Structure 1
């Protein structure tokens, strides 16, 4: 089959949705939204409003009482959720970067991240170093310009305390996860972040890095199946949840939010992540189904979230 649908105007987009049963209170306001937010970006928020969406003969007709204003409410909720999460991840990223630089530079030397003998998968390391090289070359930071000017005969990367300051969270998490388990700093960093040892922290960081990328690219988090999975500590040394999600529930955001809260409690105690998340959920309680994010009944009473 060849795709042959032509583009349609904003007025035609709204008319199509009306024909399918989506209710609009203010057509002019709706036109303004569609002029700034694309049809298919908003489609992710009205998709659950379809009835029988898996049946080919049903052409995406909406359930009764489906309203465009609720679509916009979900869109706004998702935006605020991403901003909240991005702020939390920033603190986790800075902490991880600091610990990698400090512990591994002291255990080995400032160029430990180039030492292939320290890593399990050298092919993966090559790819990571290529990304880091791109980030370093792209940098306009004064300290990097001065380094290149002063040490132009030194063909190595700048030392870790300069290079890794420019490195993305994804590359940092890959460096950490790829370290051999015999590297002492790998366990030290995990212990300092409350993850006990190297067994658990790599999957946490990989998950958080994926979610960070969704936030950075303005991708939908609400009602999204996350691709990553995580290994959970059987007996965490700090506050955790009693009602722990099962493996099949790891595709939802809730368990990953719990891990972020757990790490943030170690990195920045006290913090207001719990208050800000509860306030956001309360504000949109008439629009947001907590189950679409994997929230458990009674999550507000969990010790982790208090």
Structure 2
């Protein structure tokens, strides 16, 4: 039976000190703990503990290093969120453009184009809820003007209301004989439809971590991404080791960079990532699986 009681912030600070965490300014630490929960910060000091069962810290473990690591992770999420935004907008645009021309503006309602009908029903149900909730003027005007039309608004209106996760599911659920599926993959440098669905799924999950302020540093990520053996665009030199590395953030950031290079070749992802690492020199980059001289890789140049 769980018997622990809630601790005041002063008691939390005392407990951390008793366990060996160096806290120079307890009152400042209390202020942090009033704004960032003990449990959330615990995800960052966990690696500093030498006895994880009794929560005893390694010698010279400092509260200020915990906060630096927390701040680094927060800034990393903001950086990646901006990158993912560009990928999301590009994916949405490509889906709307190519499939509306290949099929028609209501392709996303056509069950004959999709492999999993149940998954499509769920996607459309969520889309319908988003459209009902939205205050978007174009949707309201469309409904008012075409109230006798039982269909969703056309793709260029409807799919602006849905999430990256839903877009990635729509793409992945398309039958492989839909020509646009390969066209979109090629435009992202993925050669064909075999690879892109797993990339989008990976990036969608990282986007959710960013949106919900969840830790990315030292997190194990899904390792099911399918990697190209010979990418058509600049990639990394140790690509043969990708399957062993794909559960850490570095490889997923490589995928983001690869896709971003097709969207905005003059992007500043490398420079901004390097600046972040320079700002927080004490952060252990091995927890992200960053490679030595990663910025010299063809992909990141």
* Superposition deviation, residue 64 in structure 1: 0.4
Gaps of 5+ in 2: none
The alignment status of 1:154 with 2:152, answered yes or no, reads no
Q: Which residue of 1 aligns with 2:26?
A: 27
Q: Which residue of 2 aligns with 1:112?
A: 107
2:87 counterpart (85, 92, 104): 92
Q: Which residue of 2 aligns with 1:254?
A: 250
| TM-score between both structures, scaled by the size of structure 2 | 0.98
Q: Which residue of 2 aligns with 1:77?
A: 72
CA–CA distance in structure 2, aligned partners of residues 124 and 40 of structure 1: 35
The alignment status of 1:37 with 2:33, answered yes or no, reads no
Partner of 1:51: helix, strand, or coil? strand
Which stretch of the first structure deviates more once superposed, 264-273 or 227-236?
227-236
The alignment status of 1:145 with 2:137, answered yes or no, reads no
Q: Which residue of 2 aligns with 1:207?
A: 202
Over the aligned positions, Cα root-mean-square deviation in angstroms equals 1.0
CA contact (8 A) 1:243 1:296 kept: no
CA contact (8 A) 2:242 2:251 kept: no
CA–CA distance in structure 1, aligned partners of residues 125 and 62 of structure 2: 48
Q: Which residue of 1 aligns with 2:277?
A: 281
Paired residues for 1:184-195 under 5 Å? 184-195=179-190
Partner of 1:303: helix, strand, or coil? coil
The alignment status of 1:3 with 2:2, answered yes or no, reads yes
Q: Extract structure 1 runs of 4+ deviating beyond 6 A.
A: none
Gaps of 5+ in 1: none
Q: Which residue of 2 aligns with 1:295?
A: 290
CA contact (8 A) 1:24 1:68 kept: yes
The alignment status of 1:217 with 2:182, answered yes or no, reads no
Q: Which residue of 1 aligns with 2:117?
A: 122
Partner of 1:171: helix, strand, or coil? helix
CA contact (8 A) 1:21 1:66 kept: yes
Change (3 A) 1:52 1:27: closer
CA contact (8 A) 1:206 1:228 kept: no
Q: Which residue of 1 aligns with 2:167?
A: 172
